[in-house]
Amino acid sequence: MNINISSYLPDYELIDCGNHKKLERFGDIIAIRPEISANTSPKLKFTEWENVADISFDAEKNVWIKHKDKSLVEWGMTYRELNFKLRLTNFKHIGIFPEQAINWDYISKIKACFNNVPSFLNLFGYTGISSIVAASNNYKVTHIEALKQIINWGKQQAQDNNITCIRWIADDVFKFVERENRRKNKYNFIIIDPPAIGYGKGGKRWIFEKDIMPLLDMLSQILDNQAVVVLNLYSHSMNEKFSHKLILEYFKDFNIETNGIVLGKSSYGDTINHGQLIRLERNIEIVE
């Protein structure tokens, strides 16, 4: 599916992309970042990118270059009535994955379809924007992220938006889900956004191709009878055949709301790949 993310998140714009880089606007700040899926040639000259960019990430040196405000470390952007702080980190990420805005709209829309206050579990939750969106829609939210400093970032984001009802847990995803299964706790809405390769609490390594299936097996056991599952899968091994295998193996009694590659469209019409988005629903009756 080709989407203009700006239609979901007006504070974001994919201006141009190509030569494995992307030129993006986050609020008032324009950034140049690496993008492996930007396989075309950009429409603007790279000197034009540099003229408008506030910051760029040097992937070889693993550092940010500040082109204008040399003191820039943090700045804001908004989604609907919510406000978020973005930061320059030691990697190319800045605290937000803008393609997730299509899920934030879905979280808001689907809330009315649950019979009771739905329990929401965010795994690999990063800085917590999905959790904050869910809490602002009166879900009962549990947020799991391995890194304590990222949890603290998310807590500050929630506090800035006067949200105090999220359960923040710094933990390994596998260990947390295993405990919830033993305790027979159930969730109505689970969103999972795993990296292709990553490191969890205590340096435990996550490898998508090896770990995704046992994780989904455990997740399927902690879902309530009325349930929604959202999977954001970025591994380059992902394809439609593999996604259907996952659905049939672990969620065969769910209806498929969405299953496809999300292609973010630039202002000039070229696209970058945001990975596979799968949204599944069980015993959900859409309320118009």
pLDDT tens-digit profile of 182-223? 999 999 999 998 876 666 666 667 677 788 899 999 999 999
CA distance 72 to 28: 12
Residue 13 carries which DSSP code?
E
Sign of CA dihedral 108, 172, 193, 42: positive
Confidence bin at 66 (pLDDT 50/70/90) = very high
Model confidence over 243-271: pLDDT tens digits?
888 899 999 999 999 999 999 999 999 99
pLDDT at 37 over 70: yes
CA distance 99 to 56: 20
pLDDT of residue 203: 63
pLDDT at 278 over 80: yes
CATH 3.40.50.150 spans which residues of the chain? 96-282
CATH 2.60.40.1180 spans which residues of the chain? 2-80
pLDDT of residue 73: 93
CA distance 267 to 274: 16
Among 210-214, 222-226, 235-239, top mean pLDDT goes to 222-226
Spatial CB neighbours of 276, under 8 Å, sequence gap ≥ 6? 231, 232, 233, 234, 238, 239, 243, 259, 260, 261, 262
Residue 139: exposure state from Cβ atoms within 10 A (0-12, 13-18, ≥19): buried
CA distance 100 to 181: 27
CA distance 54 to 255: 44
Could you give the percent of the chain with pLDDT greater than 70?
Answer: 94
pLDDT at 5 over 70: yes
Average pLDDT over residues 9-19: 98
Confidence bin at 239 (pLDDT 50/70/90) = confident
pLDDT at 88 over 70: yes
Angle between helices 129-136 and 101-110 (to 10 degrees): 20
CA distance 127 to 143: 10
Confidence bin at 288 (pLDDT 50/70/90) = low
Model confidence over 93-135: pLDDT tens digits?
999 999 999 999 999 999 999 999 999 999 999 999 999 999 9
- CATH architecture of structural domain 2-80: Sandwich (2.60)
Q: Return mean pLDDT, the chain.
A: 93
pTM: 0.94
Spatial CB neighbours of 142, under 8 Å, sequence gap ≥ 6? 119, 120, 121, 122, 166, 167, 169, 187
pLDDT at 168 over 80: yes
Average pLDDT over residues 72-92: 95
CA angle 122, 124, 130 (to 5 degrees): 45
Using the structure block, give the residue that is written with the tokens 């659905």. Answer: 247
What are the C-alpha distances in Å from 196 to residues 124, 148, 160, 170?
Answer: 12, 20, 31, 20
Tell how strand 12-18 and strand 55-58 pair up. Answer: unpaired
Range 96-282 classified under CATH 3.40.50.300: no
User: Helix or strand or coil: residue 186?
Assistant: coil
